[in-house]
Each structure stands twice: as structure tokens, then as C-alpha cells.
Structure 1
Amino acid sequence: MTDEDSQNGKVRSPRNRSLELTEQDRGRLRSRLIPSVSGNFLELPIGTLQGDCLELVNLLPQNSIDLMILDPPYNLAKSFHGLRFARRSVEDYTIWLNQVISALKPLLKSTASIYICGDWFSSTSIFAVAAEHFIVRNRITWEREKGRGAKTNWKNASEDIWFCTVSDRYTFNVESVKLRRKVMAPYRTSEGTPKDWQLTGDGNMRDTHPSNLWTDITIPFWSMSENTDHPTQKSEKLIAKLILASSNPGDVMFDPFVGSGTSSVVAKKLDRRYLGIDLSEEYCLLTERRLELADSSQTIQGLADGVFWERNSLKLRNQLQEPDS
């Protein structure tokens, strides 16, 4: 329940599985945050740091990050637990984003990969800045099925993730991010055996190489255990694809706008090290609560048997016992 919900006396439905913090949680979890230091960190800390990433970056060791997931505030007017980000002109947002990336860039290893999240409006700025600092390799567009739409414009039903690298030496584990989906018109060999697909109890399935158009992502909602009250939360399935493709076990994932903590949680579940930073103490504590819960469950919705399953797959509904996958 948000602070606003509490003040208005709203009570969640018994079926609502959204994670919320109690005052007891807040008091207990503060000790889990990375403590501040008087000087620079001698080694890269692992965990969650509260503060302004543009200030804390100067305390962190350079050339220490394998993968950076950058999910900054989009160029929209938005409130993040009382912290407001105002919409700017395209030029001003581009300047701000350039300042952010210029500050963070020294932390990256020469073999690092970078994913920068945005919407249609901020993507103009993202490409301009990313192309100045990195090698831009692709733009992932993922379907975001949420929202009521608009009466005088097309409904915004997609977001972008720009894939960049520091150099031509980088990690990309294509076999780790295949998508298992139903085969609508399966081919057979001359012997009558399946060609590039499997006959299973769930139907005819094929493991396909990942494309840059993702239509299998479910936005976290009230009946999912990973859901929080963060206004722009990404799904664990979405972030898992980025982490599995562009890092290896033991590598360091860095998220300087960690928000509800999805990237850190997924990194932990996938045996990566992680550092998340956020200006909001509430979101830092929420991240630590989710990391705490990850000790007892390594499940990532949509990921099973070493592949990603398309939404509403029967196997996942049975395995995860959640309404959508």
C-alpha cells in the first residue's frame, strides 16, 4: 500500500500480492544498505547504495562494471515516492542524459555492455547520446500492454531498450535467451519427424533465436508476487533477458537508477554480483526487501528449462501458478 493509499484508508484485496514495506521492515532493512564512506570505495561494493548516482559515482572504482542497465526517468512529468521529475525539452533532456552517461562511463570495463531504457519520446535523446559514447548495436522494442489509451492519439504500447557496447569485445550468450513458442505450421522431414520443433504435451514448440521485437513481456500487476507500487517497474523476465545475454555468472551488473530493485534481484537470482543506486530511501529499502525474499525463491516468471516461454504458456501457468506469464 502506498502512503497515499494509507492516508485515504484504502485496503488491498486479499488476492493482491503486491509487496509493501512495514515500519518494522524499514527499521530492519536500513542496516542492509551499503554504509557511506569518508573517502573512495577501495573495492566495488555489492548491494544497494542510497544517494545521487552522479555524486556517488566519484567514490566508485573505475573499470569495474561488466554490464550497466540504465533505466533513467523518461522525459515525462512523473513522481517517484515524492521525488518529482519534470518533463523537459528534447534538447534539455539530451543534455541531462549526456551528463549522466559521461559521469558513469569511467566505471565500465572495456568489454562492458550497456542497455538504456526509454520510450518513443526519450529515445531520440538516447540514440544521440549513446552514439557519442558507445557503439550502438541495436534497439529492442517491447510491447507494454498496460494503460487505457488516448482519445486523440495512438496508445503508447511499447518501450525501447538500446543495446550498446564499449568496444567490439563483449559478451552475448545467444543460447541463454532463446524463446520457446508454439509452431503454427510445423514442417516435417521426409521421414516424417519434426523439423526444428518438438512435439510436447503443451503442443508443437520451437526454440527460436531472440529478435529485437519482444511481445512476450507481462508488466507486473497486482496478482504477481514481484509487483510493487513503483510507477515504472520493469518485469523480472524483461531484465533477465538482458542479464543472461550480456553477462556471465560472477560478473557485476550496475543499475544507477535501481528503483524497485528488479535488476539487482534478477542479478542475484542468476548468480551475478550487483550494485544498485537510488535517490529514494524507500526504493532502496524495497530493493533490499526483494533481495531478502530472493534467498528463498530463485524463480523468474517466464523463464523455465533454460528458455523463455511466450506468455500464457500452459507449462508456466501450471508451474508458477500465476495468471499470466
Structure 2
Amino acid sequence: MNSNQKKNAPYNRTLKLTSEDTRNLSPLLLRINSKSKLCEIENRILNQDLFEAIDYLPEKFVDLLFIDPPYNMNKKFSSVNFRKKSLTDYEAWLESWFRKIIPLLKPDASVYFCSDWQTSIAVFNVLNKYLKVRNRITWEREKGRGSVKNWKNCHEDIWFCTLSDNYYFNADAVKLKRRVLAPYRDENKNPKDWKAETEGNYRLTHPSNIWTDLTIPFWSMPENTEHPTQKPEKLLAKIILASSREGDFVFDPFCGVGTSLVVAKKLNRKFCGIELEKKYALLSLKRLALAEIDKSIQGYADGVFWERNTLREQLINKKSK
């Protein structure tokens, strides 16, 4: 650790870079300036501008595309600043690079595109030109600034699209395990659509387009970093399990601190990410190395997703017995 780097409080598990990390991990970052083969970018992070790299990527290699671009607001990402544009200019900016990604997709590829409520219309307009828009997922961010003159903003959107009508979707892989508060029994007094377990009564439910079971990474979680808009691993696990198979290729052109890549690795998918900010790219590499040791995903166990906090309570109950 750098001598001038502030130490975390005892329960603060935020992942940070050390000078040793920077020295050891920097050679693993990749830059491309000529047409690349798939084997050259597989399971790699490209530390460069998307516009610089996009023309050199292989065609038709992506099974699952996850995009979490800067939203249309003034935001500082370490040394990179994004400036708010008019909605028309933001839409033009989105299309300027998104149209170049389309040739990278396999014919049966799926696409998930993140946005907030202010940019959802612009995002839809671009996606609808090139893809089949199938749904809009709305997920609850339990964090959010309060407002005395408006409703508190605590949700974001993810647009689900496909390139064609031939695509993969596995609903069974992303069922949510919910508590049953009023268990119903049939005429023979058998549980109906639920199961009695030692820790309580639970039901497996099909996934909907409203996600309220996610926890934004914060200081006591080992997946947390200093990235200002980091997505939860659990969110990416839902997307990757639903819309890809083991061995499929996940591509993220704005990978930040690599949540999509880390989860792809934990779930035995191939991956490639692009990140302009070197600090974030290095944090991605550090997280990928840690994923070699720990493949757990908060809120996901035994092949199912658990409601927020319920899995933790189950583990506590098991340890106390």
C-alpha cells in the first residue's frame, strides 16, 4: 500500500489499487491498433477509447452485449469528465458509436442497455433503429438523494433487445426465491406453489421486469470500489444467466471496474471489455484475479436469486445451529 494512501476503516472492504497492483497489472492491459483475432481479445481488457478500438474488433463474435454508458449528466469518472448535452446531442452521441457495434453481434445476440429515466427515450430511439426492443427492465436503487420538490429518484432502466427473433433466454436460470407470508394449501393440505424449509416458507417465482432485490455496492461489500456508478454483481448475474450459455462471449464497451467481466468469469463465460480510464481498468484486473479464488455472487446461491437480505439471514441461522 502507498504510504500516503488512507487505510480503510475495519469494516470498510472497498477494493483499492496499490502501487504494487499498478506495477504488476499494467502490462496485462491491451491496446489494439490493427484488426484483431478473437483469440487476441478473449478474456482481455482494452485500455483505450471505444472509438479508437471499435474498428479493429472481430465481426460477429458477441453473444451478449452489456452497455452501461455515461448517462447524460455532468459526472467525473476519476480523471475523465462527462459533460451533459442536450437530449438531441446525447442521442446523436449514442448512435455515433452504437451503430458501429452492430456488426460485432452474432445473429442470435442479445443486448442489455442501461439508462436513467431522463435518457430512456433517447436510448430507445437509437435501439429501435437497429434492434428488436423486447422489454424495459426497471430496477430499484435503494440509494438515492432525497428532494423536497420532487419524487426521490431511486430507479434505473435496462433495455432488453435482440438482433433477431432467434435468441436465447433461460427464465429457469433466474428465478427469484421469495418468502411466502400467507402460505396457501390445497384441499389435501399440501403446500401450493411453495415449499416449507427449516428457515421458513419460500416460493420460486419467474423473473419480471421489475427488480427490487438488488443492493448497490457499498463500503462493507467486497465487490465495492471507488467507481461512482458501479453496478451490482447480482444484477449482471441475472442478465448473463438469462441471456447466455456457458462458454458464450460477453462484451462490454464501457466496462468501468469490470463488474460484467467479473461475473462472466465467475459464471464460465468468455469476455472482453473496453475502458478508457486506466485506474478502472486496473481495478477490473484486480477483481478478475480475486474471482479466481472466490466465485460467490452476493444474493445468488444454490442456483437461485434471493430477495434482498434473506440469504444473509439464512446463512446466519445455519451458523447459529
Interval containing the TM-score (normalised by the shorter chain) = over 0.9
Q: More deviation in 224-233 or 146-155? A: 146-155
1:188 maps to 2:185: yes
CA change 1:37–1:96 in 2 (3 A) is: closer
Q: Residue 33 of structure 2 contacts residue 53 of structure 2 at CA under 8 Å; is this kept in 1? A: no
Structure-1 residue corresponding to 2:196? 199
Q: Residue 18 of structure 1 contacts residue 227 of structure 1 at CA under 8 Å; is this kept in 2? A: yes
1:22 maps to 2:18: yes
Q: Secondary structure at the match of 2:46?
A: strand
Name the Cα RMSD after superposition: 1.8
Q: Secondary structure at the match of 2:125?
A: helix
Structure 1's unaligned 5+ residue stretches are none
Paired residue type of 1:185: A
CA change 1:161–1:288 in 2 (3 A) is: same
Q: Secondary structure at the match of 2:72?
A: coil
Once the two structures are TM-superposed, the CA of residue 39 in structure 1 deviates from its matched residue by 2.1
Paired residue type of 1:229: E
Paired residue type of 2:9: S
CA change 1:260–1:201 in 2 (3 A) is: same
Structure-2 residue corresponding to 1:91? 88
Structure-2 residue corresponding to 1:145? 142
In 2, Cα distance between equivalents of 1:96 and 1:164: 19
In 2, Cα distance between equivalents of 1:54 and 1:156: 32
Q: Residue 33 of structure 2 contacts residue 56 of structure 2 at CA under 8 Å; is this kept in 1? A: no
State how 1:98-137 maps to structure 2 within 5 Å.
Answer: 98-137=95-134
1:264-323 C-alpha deviation (Å, 9 max, x unpaired): 00000000000010011111100000000000000000101100000110x4345499xx
Q: Secondary structure at the match of 1:111?
A: strand
Paired residue type of 1:240: A
Once the two structures are TM-superposed, the CA of residue 134 in structure 1 deviates from its matched residue by 0.3
In 1, Cα distance between equivalents of 2:76 and 2:16: 18
In 1, Cα distance between equivalents of 2:270 and 2:234: 18
1:208 maps to 2:205: yes
Once the two structures are TM-superposed, the CA of residue 173 in structure 1 deviates from its matched residue by 0.7
CA change 1:181–1:104 in 2 (3 A) is: same
1:73 maps to 2:74: no
In 1, Cα distance between equivalents of 2:168 and 2:28: 31
Q: Secondary structure at the match of 2:264?
A: helix
Q: Secondary structure at the match of 1:68?
A: strand
Q: Residue 301 of structure 1 contacts residue 320 of structure 1 at CA under 8 Å; is this kept in 2? A: no
Q: Residue 32 of structure 2 contacts residue 53 of structure 2 at CA under 8 Å; is this kept in 1? A: no
Q: Secondary structure at the match of 2:38?
A: coil
Q: 2:28 aligns with which of 27, 32, 52?
A: 32
Once the two structures are TM-superposed, the CA of residue 101 in structure 1 deviates from its matched residue by 0.9
Q: Residue 18 of structure 1 contacts residue 225 of structure 1 at CA under 8 Å; is this kept in 2? A: yes
Q: 2:38 aligns with which of 38, 43, 46?
A: 43
Q: Secondary structure at the match of 2:85?
A: coil
Q: TM-score, normalised by structure 2?
A: 0.94
Once the two structures are TM-superposed, the CA of residue 42 in structure 1 deviates from its matched residue by 2.1
Structure-1 residue corresponding to 2:299? 302
Paired residue type of 2:19: E
In 2, Cα distance between equivalents of 1:127 and 1:92: 15
State how 1:141-290 maps to structure 2 within 5 Å.
Answer: 141-290=138-287
What is the number of equivalent residue pairs in this alignment? 315
Structure-2 residue corresponding to 1:58? 55
In 2, Cα distance between equivalents of 1:99 and 1:202: 52
Once the two structures are TM-superposed, the CA of residue 30 in structure 1 deviates from its matched residue by 1.0
Q: TM-score, normalised by structure 1?
A: 0.93
Paired residue type of 2:21: D
CA change 1:317–1:229 in 2 (3 A) is: farther
In 2, Cα distance between equivalents of 1:21 and 1:195: 51
1:5-60 C-alpha deviation (Å, 9 max, x unpaired): x98x85531110000000110110012223x3452112251211111112201111
Structure-1 residue corresponding to 2:312? 316
Structure 2's unaligned 5+ residue stretches are none
1:181-216 C-alpha deviation (Å, 9 max, x unpaired): 011222112111101100012211000000000000
Q: Residue 97 of structure 1 contacts residue 129 of structure 1 at CA under 8 Å; is this kept in 2? A: yes
